[in-house]
Amino acid sequence: MNVVKYVNAINRVSTILILAVVSSVMLYAYYSLMSGETAGAMVNDDYRWSEQYQAIATAGDGEVFSVLAYVAQPDSATARKVTAGERMFDRVVSQLRARAVAPADRSTLGEIMVAHAACVSAIQRVGRLFNAGREADGNAVYHHDVVPAYAKLNDLVNGAAQRHYAAARALDTKVDALDKKLRWTMAGVGLLGFVVLGGLLFTMRVYKLRAEHATKREMRRLEEAALSDSLTSLGNHRAFYEDFAREIARSRRHGHAMTLAIVDVDDFKSLNDTRGHQYGDEILVRIGQAMGSGRQEDRAYRIGGDEFALLLPESDRGQAQAALERIHRVTAQTLDGLTVSMGFCELGAQYDEHDLYERADAALYAAKRNGRNAIVDFETIRTSTTIFSSRKTGALRKLIERRALDVAFQPIWNLDGKGILGFEALARPDPELGFSGPQEAFDVAERVRKVVELDRVCIGKILSAASKLPGDELLFINVAPETLTRSDFRASELTQAVEKAGLKPTQIVIEVTERRISDVAGLVRHASDLRNLGVRLALDDTGAGYAGLEILSKFTFDFVKIDRGVTADAIEHKRARGILAGIIAIAREGGSFVIAEGIESVEQLEFLRDLPDLPKQSFAGVRGAQGYLLGRPRCGAPDVAEFLPYGHILDCRIDLAS
């Protein structure tokens, strides 16, 4: 974001400037302090030298006065004073000369000693003249020699003292000026730094506010994007679940009615396959527009590929029915003949989110199964619908995620005397998940639209368990029709998995359950793709519903498995025998291998052996059999030897030692 870049740049520049200013001030202060300290030392030194020269003057005065006193009164006491004065003067001058470093001071001290010697010599002459009684001559020498020599000595000493004193005062003035300059400079730099820092902080504050506003706008945009479907601009599944929980809570708090509707496009997968995904997206956009054309207070969401949801607040069943009918009419006018199915349910007193959704979904499921292009209220199907608890749907999710199932194998016998034809693989969910059996697991998967995911798990586990299947036996695998017709499930995907398990595609028989077939045309198309890759196909549970004869008339299966209910009822009921005979006749015309399921008694086997109302052929056209009588399902890798003892039941020639 540009504003963030600007703020970061300002932070870097301000940091550099502040560091530069602080460093400069510290260096300047250090230089000034060092200079001040040096100048101060020089001032102190000059003051000390001025005082020393004054001490020389004092010593000189004392010596001269003592000499003059001796001249006036030459006795031993005065002589000692003269000697003491000379020594003091010599000691002071010698000490200063020893410490003197500057050439000017050394030269001055030399001149002072010369002048001192001349002054002392002149005084001594005066003294000798006075001692000789020549006072007039002594006075003349005093005025002519002593006074000028003493004046010269004083001039040298006082001049040196004044020179050092003046230098000290000048340096002192300079130090004071430097100190004032430092204080003013520090104050100016501090003020400048304050202004610069204040300006930078103000600028940073301005850009920070801009950044915060830009960030808030961006966060709002991202939040809207996270809660919006990019294709239809409706709310997405996340927005739906958030609003769903909120609307239920509001409805309970205020005592308002509330209804949930779920909408699904009929035959959308076939539309995508035949017309392309771009056209499919266009249809979804139109549906989204139609969904948004309802009442202002209703909210629409796209919660899946071709699945939508509607929250209808403050709406009971009747109001929801009227609102959905209006949307249904708008949809019919805009979809070029494509239809939608709708299921809805009003919020009940004891329903939670899962309960309400499951009931609306059950109503949609009923609409799809009962001809589609319909609106179904859950209350109209309540007594004929099973609602699965959230525990069951959670168990299904765990089953798929953990691949928590075992595989059992049941033999399928060839009644023409050729022994075991192959094995049917039967998935067994982990008992800890709480399913009563595989059928319940698939029923839950069908209701929550997870059949394809469950099928993939089952296929993977079956192929892994059957990897040591002998080369002559077949492996029958149940696959839901909706899995085969899914555009993202390719025939090549299955054959690659088969070959990876060490099996051949020609060993695989895919069983399709007749009673779950809804898209016959799509199934035929995808089944042909499988057959072209070498995989064989079986129509399972034939006779259990009404689609078997229709699909047999449109597609030839390698195997036709007669439903166990038809086999059992055919013994006593003519109608069931007619269905059985019809299935066998159609299968024989297409060259299909007929297998009877659910053989649990010798009576059933003998009935098939001598089936009435058909030409007398080997087992009257039923060439295979499967059931508890001929071998119960067993977990573990399929083993022909385990089931061979059942062969005597068939009264066929089987070498048990083979």
pLDDT digits (tens, 9 = 90+) for 560-592: 999 888 888 888 888 888 888 888 888 888 889
- Choose between 255 and 49: higher pLDDT: 255
- Choose between 415 and 459: higher pLDDT: 459
pLDDT given for residue 223 in this prediction: 66
pLDDT given for residue 257 in this prediction: 92
Q: Is 624 helix (H, G, I), strand (E, B) or coil?
A: strand
Q: What is the 3-state secondary structure (H, E, C) of 53-97?
A: HHHHHHHHHHHHHHHHHHHHCCCHHHHHHHHHHHHHHHHHHHHHH
Tokens of residue 651, six digits: 């009264």
The least confident of 202-206, 334-338, 478-482, 546-550 is 546-550
**Mean of the per-residue pLDDT values for the chain?**
80
Q: Would you put residue 361 in left (φ > 0), alpha (ψ -120 to 50) or beta?
A: alpha
pLDDT given for residue 114 in this prediction: 81
| pTM for the whole structure | 0.56
Domain with CATH 3.30.70.270 in the chain: 237-384
% residues pLDDT > 90 (the chain) = 19
- Beta strand 559-562 with 536-542: parallel, antiparallel or unpaired? parallel
CATH architecture, range 237-384 = 2-Layer Sandwich (3.30)
- DSSP-derived secondary structure letter, 389: -
- Choose between 358 and 259: higher pLDDT: 259
pLDDT given for residue 657 in this prediction: 35
Domain with CATH 1.20.120.1730 in the chain: 2-208
pLDDT given for residue 344 in this prediction: 96
Tokens of residue 44, six digits: 């102190």
pLDDT given for residue 409 in this prediction: 93
| Paired residues of 513 in beta bridges | 540
Say if residue 218's pLDDT is above 90.
Answer: no
Average pLDDT rounded to a whole number, residues 589-602: 89
How long, in residues, is the chain?
A: 658
Q: 92-96, 266-270, 328-332 — which one is most confidently predicted on average?
A: 328-332
- Which residue in 385, 393, 404 sits closest to 448, CA to CA? 393
CATH topology of domain 2-208: Four Helix Bundle (Hemerythrin (Met), subunit A) (1.20.120)
Pairs from 608-615 (Cβ < 8 Å, separation ≥ 24): 608/415, 608/567, 611/580, 611/581, 611/584, 612/577, 613/577, 613/581, 614/581, 614/584, 614/585
Say if residue 205's pLDDT is above 80.
Answer: no
pLDDT given for residue 658 in this prediction: 37
Average pLDDT rounded to a whole number, residues 447-461: 87
Average pLDDT rounded to a whole number, residues 492-500: 87
Say if residue 230's pLDDT is above 50.
Answer: yes
Q: What is the pLDDT of residues 154-190, one digit of tens each?
A: 787 777 777 777 777 777 777 777 777 777 777 777 7
Please, which pLDDT band fits residue 85 given cuts at 50, 70 and 90? Answer: low
Average pLDDT rounded to a whole number, residues 542-571: 82
pLDDT given for residue 248 in this prediction: 92
pLDDT given for residue 610 in this prediction: 72
